[in-house]
Chains A and B, each alone.
Chain A
Amino acid sequence: KQEVTQIPAALSVPEGENLVLNCSFTDSAIYNLQWFRQDPGKGLTSLLLIQSSQREQTSGRLNASLDKSSGRSTLYIAASQPGDSATYLCAVTNSGYALNFGKGTSLLVTP
C-alpha cells in the first residue's frame, strides 16, 4: 500500500525566505505526483502536476521536483509571502487513479 509522508508537519518562516517542503512515497511505481494547497475551511487548489516521466515543473515562484527512483519530491517556494500561508499537500497516483495523500505541511509566513 502506498504511503506518502510529508516533512515537516509545520513550518514558520519570515517573509522573503526561500523554503523547501518535502514529500516521500514508498512505492516508486507512480503515474504522477501532484502538489496542492489548502486554505483553512476551503477545498484543494492544484499547484503543480508532475508526470512520472518528468523531473520537475515550475509555476511562478513554485518549483516541484520529482525523483521517482528514490521516492521523493520537493516543492520549492521562492521569496515567500504571507499569502503563501496554507497547508501544502503532496499526492501520488499509482497504476490506479485515486490520489494517495500525505498529511500535509502547514506553512506560516510571517510579515
Chain B
Amino acid sequence: GAGVSQSPSNKVTEKGKDVELRCDPISGHTALYWYRQSLGQGLEFLIYFQGNSAPDKSGLPSDRFSAERTGGSVSTLTIQRTQQEDSAVYLCASSSRGGGAGTQYFGPGTRLLVL
C-alpha cells in the first residue's frame, strides 16, 4: 500500500512569506506527527495528532507555526512570516497506534529554504 506522502517535496520562499506543507498519512493511521530536521540540530518533534483529540502542540517553536488535521486524515503545517531559521526538512510520520506505542512511518519530507 501507499506510504506517507508529503508535498511539495521542495519549497523556496522569501523571508516574510507564509508557506503551507501537506502530509497524507497511511490510510487508517490514527496518529500523525510532524518533525523538523535542521542542519546541526537533528530531528525535533513539532506536533502530534491522535484521532479526534486535541493536538499536542508542545514542540512548535513559535506562534508562527500552526497545524491542522482535517477529517482525521490529511494534515497541513503552516508557517507564517517565514524566517531564515525556519529553513529545514519538515518530516511527517503516521502510526496505526497512538501514544507512541507503534512504529512511526515517515514520509520523504519537504525541504524548505527561506531566502
Contact = CB atoms under 8 A, between A and B. Distances in A.
Contacts of A105: none
Interface in A78-109: 89, 91, 93-94, 96-104
B109 A43 contact: yes
Contacts of B100: 31-32, 93-94, 96-99
Contacts, number: 60
Given A93-B100, A97-B99, A46 B105 contact: yes
B104 A34 contact: yes
Nearest to B99: A97
B104 A43 contact: no
A104 B104 contact: no
Nearest to A98: B45
A42 B103 contact: no
Interface string B36-53: 000000111100101000
Interface string B71-115: 000000000000000000001010000111111111111000000
Contacts of A7: none
B99 A101 contact: no
Contacts of A91: 43
Interface of B: 4, 31, 33, 35, 42-45, 48, 50, 56, 59, 91, 93, 98-109
Given A31-B100, A99-B100, 4 more contacts: A43-B91, A97-B99, A98-B33, A103-B42
